[in-house]
Amino acid sequence: MKIGFIGLGNMGGPMAANLAKAGHEVIGFDMAPVEIEGVTMAASGAEAAQGAEVVVTMLPNGAILRAVANEIIPAMDKGAAFVDCSTVDVESARTVADQAVNTGLLAVDAPVSGGISGAAGGTLTFMAGGSDAAFAKADPLFDIMGQKAVHCGESGAGQAAKICNNMILGITMVGTCEAIALADKLGLDRQKMFDVVSTSSGYSWTMNAYCPAPGVGPQSPADNDYKPGFAAELMLKDLRLSQKAAEAADADTPMGQRATELYTQFVENEDGLGMDFSAMLPRFEKRGRED
């Protein structure tokens, strides 16, 4: 298959490389000068999209997605699939999908979970929105780039699933870090706390699989000086998307709103920028009740 791939950063680059390794002809474009093994670089997004059966995008935000869509949709062949793997607002995802479908293209919004390591290892999870035909066209590529793809519904459903999932993740990480910091101040050994919580009603992914306390539980960024597996600023981006969606849908999300406020403070006013999102734990360790 001939595939256009636009957005070859930390996530897009390895994803495109995995498609090329699997034998597909991949034509790539990025605003930065990059070289990806097996990928032929084009001079523009439109050039990368020309003649492609599928065009995959991995872009930073909805505004850039809309701009790229305006450039590449006119260059794409009718019947080709526009597969956007960016994490953006639901409105942008639906607008771009409608634009693509109205010009005779298939459209899928398919944000991912799994981070940079998942992109490199081909173990991402894709949350896809779009028609059955569009999902069927993209699914073989999801099998190469990831380990699981869930067809969540029509256009925008993939973004909705990603946003809701990561709102839970942000809220849960804050709660996990708060509880460990409280346990410290109560004199409770961290390993003993982990042994209890990880096998009782406090069980969560943030405690059991990604524990924010170094030396406790499986290896996590906490054991590597909180170098990011999932950066705090990316968590903040997803939490802000959740609150934008909640406002549009008139949904009451007080915990999501509070998590957004805490990550905003952590990233913009404290030392969270460039740290893993689990570095909330040392933040809480340093704070008292009235801070």
Active site positions, annotated: 162
Q: Quick one: tokens of 76?
A: 């794409």
Q: Are 2 and 12 in contact (CB under 8 A)?
A: no
What CA–CA distance (Å, rounded) separates 199 from 148? 27
On the 0-12 / 13-18 / 19+ scale of CB atoms within 10 A, 189 is exposed
Location of structure tokens 């870090």: 177
Residue 175's CB: how many other CB atoms inside 10 A? Answer: 17
Of 107, 61, 99, nearest in space to 83 by CA: 107
What CA–CA distance (Å, rounded) separates 90 from 249? 11
C-alpha 191: how far from its chain's center?
A: 30
Q: Are 119 and 11 in contact (CB under 8 A)?
A: yes
Specify the 3-state DSSP secondary structure of 39: strand
Look up residue 224 and give its DSSP letter. Answer: G
What are the helix (H) ranges across 103-156?
115-121, 132-145
Q: Quick one: tokens of 11?
A: 């996530």
On the 0-12 / 13-18 / 19+ scale of CB atoms within 10 A, 218 is exposed
Residue type, 120: A
